[in-house]
Structure 1
Amino acid sequence: MSEISGLTWGLTIGLVVVLLAVDLILAALRPHKVGFKEATAWSLFYIAVAIAFGVWFTVTYGSTLGTEYFAGYIVEKSLSVDNLFVFVIIMATFAVPEEHQHKVLTFGIILALIMRAIFIALGATLLSLFSFMFLLFGILLIWTAIQLFRHRDEDPDVENNIMVRATRRFLPVTETYDGGKLVTRVDGRRMVTPMMAVLISIGSVDLLFALDSIPAVFGITREPFIVFAANAFALLGLRALFFLVKGLLDRLVYLSTGLSIILAFIGVKLVLHWAHVDINPSIPEVDTYVSLGVIVVILTVVTVASLIKTRQDPTAKAHPGSLRASPPRDDSKER
């Protein structure tokens, strides 16, 4: 079924591994605070790589698959911005030193890529074997969209993350960081540092995002290679984007609303595809070009509306949204 050659798979995976290795080596050899100019340069570099790859892919495999790649990349890139909100909250919650945030983000991206690769392989297999999986994926995205819209003005409760609670319960955790180490010794006792809790928190958050992003991009294309490439190139630029826009994220007050609309749209698209295949071929499907146009328009409107809102009301603050209501806090005095 796939039109993608094994050579293309191999070269793409090799490129992703090389870029990740460069990121990881830079983070390990030269821990430092990433400035605006450096973040801008790396962000432009990763966007240029993604676009250049898309142009090559379009020329090689045709405009239909090329459009699916760019649509999938835009969806994953927009969802990755929501990831950044949560990363900012995690970094603040655990007071990660600025010189080690680069390393944390790089490891987080590697974990995200590994989990997405697993989900892509599983999702592609299920979709090829059972057409009703399109219906299930569609329902999952619609449910996610509804929950995200309901809790669009909330932040996820990082401290109550089940993985973080388990880490603190079953592992001895130090009160302070020891450089960038995950494990250290205190009075001769082997203990994990807060860095371990940070990585576990980011990894578990990545898992939750993968549950949404993989069905979403399968709503754009059923080609596993495009799903992988769109995810990989969107995630590769996440570290640089974090340092570039973390001071601007608060201004994207309608981003969660926009993402919920996009997820609902793709969910309906998947349901229509299932109905077209399994019920009646006369039931219309949503064309990929239409999907790309709708997604771009929604993101443009959301961004412009957010900037207008924060200019008119400087006290307005964006939130990443949550899939469930956050429990009441004792620190309500901060509100």
Structure 2
Amino acid sequence: MLDNEIFWGIFIITIAIMFYIDLYATEHRIGKIGIKVSLIWSGIWIITALLFNILILILHDDGKQKAIEFLAGYLIEKSLSVDNLFVFLMIFNVMNIKDEFQPHVLKWGILSAIIMRIVFILAGVTLIKIFHPIIYIFGLLLFYAAYKMLLGKQEKIDLDNNKIIKFVSKRFHIQTNYEGKYFFTKIDGKKYVTTLFLTFLLIESADLIFAIDSIPAVIAITRDPFIVITSNIFAVLGLRALYFAIAGIVQMFTYLKYGVGIILAYVGIKMMISDFYKIPTLISLSIIIACLFLSIIISLIQRKASSSEKLKQINEK
């Protein structure tokens, strides 16, 4: 059996190699990333995460339990990511960022997100150890996130009143007509902030809110920093490829957010009652998979029914 230090080494080497290949392939690609390529890369990231999970199952001292925790945490983070990607799509559309420049923004967004998550995870686990009752605050955060997901309306991005854009606009010159992939540019010796940098800041602010929702959800499954961090980072590193796949088929998963909302409410309950009864992780994993599966199936059935209805109306005309 392998100890945690060796697992950390395997994880870091795997992530470094995969991320380098992903970045190299994307940065040297001309034009936009198509759905086919995005799905292939999404599949590669998912398979890599599952292989790492199998490695935990086979070689970890507590392999079965840790593998279930990893898979549950990974699925929660991945499912929450899909909803966050819808926000990214909206930001890119509002900021009018061309398809070929979006991977560059997402690259730096994901790198920043990894650092943010590691800090949040370590802080969250430490806070629970120092002040255990904080789990109830985390539980309330999860209930609120579930409420927003199930009943809240998608907020529109108001560029004129956005605090981040106002803050940057007061302190820097902004170049709105810039055509390129860099965050800063110089014109007549003056340094300008480009709309790509503003887009990056908007994405980071959205991801900050997303992390506040998602980190407690994973901590509700396990408080092992190794499992929480590795499952989170594997899910986050697949986001860039997943974004371009989701952007092309966004309308196919109408009801996914409801499944994710139910998952958030469930893990909120799991965390709130953890002092009295610990729900087995295998049951949690089964509930997460069932919610995701049913929400996707219902979305596809609804889409098929809508298409049939539209076709019927066209034929009647």
Which structure has greater helix proportion? 2
Q: Structure 1, residues 40-90: CA drift from partner, whole Å, max 9, x if none? A: 221111111011000001111210111000111111110111121011111
CA distance in 1, matches of 2:236, 2:165: 23
Cross-structure match for 1:173:
174
Cross-structure match for 2:314:
none
Tell whether 2:281 aligns with 1:288: yes
1:35: how far off?
A: 1.9
Q: Structure 1, residues 119-153: CA drift from partner, whole Å, max 9, x if none? A: 011011112222212222111111221233221x4
CA distance in 1, matches of 2:22, 2:73: 24
Cross-structure match for 2:154:
154
Go from structure 1 to structure 2 and tell me whether the alpha carbon gap of 1:262 and 1:161 turns closer, same or farther (over 3 Å shift).
Answer: farther
Conserved 8 A contact 1:31-1:102: no
Letter in 1 for 2:291: I
CA distance in 2, matches of 1:158, 1:313: 31
CA distance in 2, matches of 1:164, 1:20: 30
Counterparts of residues 220-299 of structure 1 (less than 5 Å): 220-274=221-275, 276=276, 284-299=277-292
CA distance in 1, matches of 2:249, 2:218: 26
- Counterpart secondary structure, 1:273: coil
Conserved 8 A contact 2:35-2:248: no
Cross-structure match for 1:281:
none
Go from structure 1 to structure 2 and tell me whether the alpha carbon gap of 1:235 and 1:161 turns closer, same or farther (over 3 Å shift).
Answer: farther
142-151 or 39-48, which deviates more: 142-151
Conserved 8 A contact 1:181-1:195: yes
CA distance in 2, matches of 1:256, 1:21: 31
Cross-structure match for 1:46:
45
Conserved 8 A contact 2:94-2:157: no
1:257: how far off?
A: 1.8
Q: Structure 1, residues 213-259: CA drift from partner, whole Å, max 9, x if none? A: 11000011111111111111111111111112212112322222222
Conserved 8 A contact 1:32-1:99: yes
- Counterpart secondary structure, 1:77: helix
TM-score (structure 1 length as normaliser): 0.85
CA distance in 2, matches of 1:315, 1:85: 26
CA distance in 2, matches of 1:270, 1:259: 16
Conserved 8 A contact 2:110-2:236: yes
Q: Structure 1, residues 160-197: CA drift from partner, whole Å, max 9, x if none? A: 54323322333211112331111112343221110110
Letter in 1 for 2:25: L
Counterparts of residues 52-201 of structure 1 (less than 5 Å): 52-61=51-60, 62-151=63-152, 153-157=153-157, 159=159, 160-201=161-202
- Counterpart secondary structure, 2:186: strand
1:315: how far off?
A: 12
- Counterpart secondary structure, 2:19: helix
Give 5+ residue unaligned stretches, structure 1: 277-283, 317-335
Cross-structure match for 1:37:
36
1:25: how far off?
A: 3.3
CA distance in 1, matches of 2:9, 2:39: 29
Tell whether 2:302 aligns with 1:303: no
Identity rate of aligned residues, in percent? 36
CA distance in 2, matches of 1:169, 1:26: 37
Letter in 1 for 2:34: G
Q: Structure 1, residues 90-117: CA drift from partner, whole Å, max 9, x if none? A: 1111111211111111111111111001
Go from structure 1 to structure 2 and tell me whether the alpha carbon gap of 1:204 and 1:45 turns closer, same or farther (over 3 Å shift).
Answer: same
Letter in 1 for 2:278: E
TM-score (structure 2 length as normaliser): 0.90
Letter in 1 for 2:147: I
Cross-structure match for 1:332:
none
- Counterpart secondary structure, 2:44: helix
CA distance in 1, matches of 2:128, 2:185: 45
Go from structure 1 to structure 2 and tell me whether the alpha carbon gap of 1:132 and 1:4 turns closer, same or farther (over 3 Å shift).
Answer: farther
Conserved 8 A contact 1:145-1:260: yes
Conserved 8 A contact 2:221-2:267: yes
Letter in 1 for 2:223: R
Conserved 8 A contact 1:24-1:103: no
Letter in 1 for 2:11: T
Go from structure 1 to structure 2 and tell me whether the alpha carbon gap of 1:156 and 1:270 turns closer, same or farther (over 3 Å shift).
Answer: farther
1:37: how far off?
A: 2.6
